[in-house]
Each structure stands twice: as structure tokens, then as C-alpha cells.
Amino acid sequence: MIATLILRRLAIGLLTLIIVSIVIFWAIELLPGDIATEVLGQSATPETLAAFRERFGLNDPAMLRYVNWLRGMATGDFGLSLANQRPIASLIGQRAANTFFLAGYAAVIAVPLAVGLGLVSALYRGSLLDRFISSSSLAVISFPEFFVAYILILIFAAWLGWFPSLAAVTPGMGLSERLYATFLPALTMVLIVMAHMMRMTRAAIVNLLALPYIEMAELKGLRRWRIIAVHALPNAVAPIVTVVALNLAYLIVGVVLVEVVFVYPGLGQLLVDSVAKRDVTVVQAACLIFAATYILLNLIADVVGILSNPRLLHPR
């Protein structure tokens, strides 16, 4: 039963990814203008344009190019960049690693902090501390990422001079140097996603605290923290993990603006640069990687939700 549910989710995830790949490919196909002219410039000769189209298969029917592109992506062959004719895999590899590092850095800070604040807020529900945490989280998520990023740059880079305003990292940089250089973009992402996770954790715990078995535990004289840690938190794992996974997906997919503001050499910055150069093969690959990551994390959240639900684990 559980295996069937998980396999069904996997099949739905794969189907969703194929549909997204179709949307990505055809959305780029609908862009106006000739790709060869956009990449080579107006000064390119007709012979050069014809050779460029022939080399990259731009004269082939769109359906054939889509099938070839999808087959290449499935086997790890991302093709060549139209702008510099280098393998896309080599362009994306380090950029994707930088993006995943930044998202992981933010997640390591945001997840325990959000869950902890959510528990404290639920434990002291209605108090001044609860209202302060809730109102602060609402205020932070009301601002867009770029605004939060510029405020942090103004305070910590321009006024205090504690951190660099640009997150310049290199492949040979040490971990401590990298953590220092990327602190402000990581803090921006922490502030953006933490509020959502905190509020969902608080709501899940508050709902559980109203159930009869929790009241029975209180009547038995158990401490409040023990009731939450032993009785409430395990039953709130599914909604908390779901919202954490969704926010982790956002950390990776929604990193584009943050990378642009801090000039961080990640996949989002590469995507923006490739759009400006009309390098559609890199844009397609980057978009599909973002989509696959988002779908995978949602799939993990779904599977964890199934495994943590006793009614699904024990249907009878």
C-alpha cells in the first residue's frame, strides 16, 4: 500500500517534470527574433548564420529538437552554449554547486531557528513574546527579497562594514572565507523563508495542543515542554516537514534575485546572464534544473508526509 502510494507520487513527479520541460522549451521557442542573429549580432554574414543554424540544429523541426534536447538532458548531455560554444555541463557545474551551497547555508540557519521560534511562540501563545515573534515575521515576509538584501547591505556593509556587499567566491576559497563572503545573501534568504516555517510550526503545535490527549497529559501534571516535545511535536512532523521542504525548494529556485543583488556566481546569476545573451540552450538547462529540484523536494515532502501518517501506514 505504502509502496504503491510512493510509486504513484514518483510517477506524478516524473510526469510533471516532462510537462514542465515542454512548457520551458515551447516558451523559449515563442520568443521573437532569430536566435542565430541575436547571438552572432547584426554584422554576421548570411554564410555564418547558416553555418551556426546548421551546427546547432536550428533548422530542424521544433518537435525533433525537443526530443533530442530531452534525450540529452536525461543522459546528462546538456549540449553546447550558443554564446561561447562551451559544454553547458562545465558552465553549470560550479554555478549549481554555488547555488546549492548558498541554499544549504541558509537552510542550516533557517530551519532550526524557525522551528524553535515556532515552538516558543506556541508555548507562550498570546503573550507579548508570541505577538512580537508573529508581528516580526509578518513584517519581514512583507518585503521582497531585493529590498531586504539592500537593507542588509546598507546596514552591515555600508554603515558597519562587517561584511562585504558583494558575495565574491572562487573555487579554491576556504570554507570559513566562503561562509563569511556569503553571509549577507544567506541572511537575506533566512529572513525570507524563516517566517513562513515559523508560522506553520506554531499553527501545527497550537492545533495539537487543543486535542484531548494533550489535555490529559496536562491533567497528569506533565511539564509543558515535555508535552510539546514528546506528545505534540511527533504528530506535527508531517506539516512541518512539508513546509520546510517547500521553503527549501524556494531557497534554491527563488535564489535568482538574491544572487543578482549580491553578484553571486550561482545558477540564478548564470540564468540572468544567459537570458541577456539570448543563450537559450543554457536558459533551458538552468530552468529544467530549477524545476527538477523543486519537484524533487516537493516529492520528498509528500513521501515524508505519507510515512508519518499512521492512517496511511496502517490502513486497517
Measure Cα distances from 138 to 68, 96, 133, 282 in Å. 46, 31, 9, 37
The gap between the terminal CA atoms of the chain, to the nearest Å, is 11
pLDDT at position 185: 92
Q: What is the structure's pLDDT at 15?
A: 92
DSSP for the chain? -HHHHHHHHHHHHHHHHHHHHHHHHHHHHTSSS-HHHHHH-TT--HHHHHHHHHHTTTTS-HHHHHHHHHHHHHTT---B-TTT--BHHHHHHHHHHHHHHHHHHHHHHHHHHHHHHHHHHHHTTTSHHHHHHHHHHHHHHTS-HHHHHHHHIIIIIIIS--S-SS----TT--HHHHHHHTHHHHHHHHHHHHHHHHHHHHHHHHHHHTSHHHHHHHHTT--HHHIIIIIIGGGGHHHHHHHHHHHHHHHHHTTHHHHHHHT--SHHHHHHHHHHHT-HHHHHHHHHHHHHHHHHHHHHHHHHHHHT-HHHHS--
CA 260 vs. chain centroid, Å, equals 15
Cell numbers 517566517 correspond to: 195
pLDDT of amino acid 309 = 66
* Closest listed residue to residue 163, CA positions, set 177, 173, 175, 147: 177
CA dist 233 → 74, 185, 283 (Å): 40, 31, 42
* pLDDT value of residue 51: 84
pLDDT value for 310: 63
Torsion over CA: 153, 155, 161, 162 (sign): negative
Separation between Cα atoms, residue 182 and residue 132, nearest integer Å = 28
Please name every residue paired with 80 in a beta bridge, in sequence order, or none if there are none: 87
Q: Tens-of-pLDDT digits for all 316 residues of the chain?
A: 667 877 888 888 899 999 999 998 888 888 777 777 777 777 778 888 888 888 888 888 888 888 888 888 888 888 888 877 888 888 888 888 888 888 889 889 988 888 888 888 888 888 888 888 888 877 877 888 888 889 999 999 899 989 998 888 887 888 888 999 999 999 998 888 888 888 888 888 788 777 777 777 777 777 777 777 777 777 777 777 777 777 777 777 777 888 888 988 888 888 888 888 888 888 888 888 888 888 888 888 778 777 766 666 665 5
The CB density around residue 63, as the number of other CB atoms within 10 Å, is 9
Which residues touch 266 (CB under 8 Å, ≥6 apart)?
A: 95, 96, 98, 99, 102, 255, 259
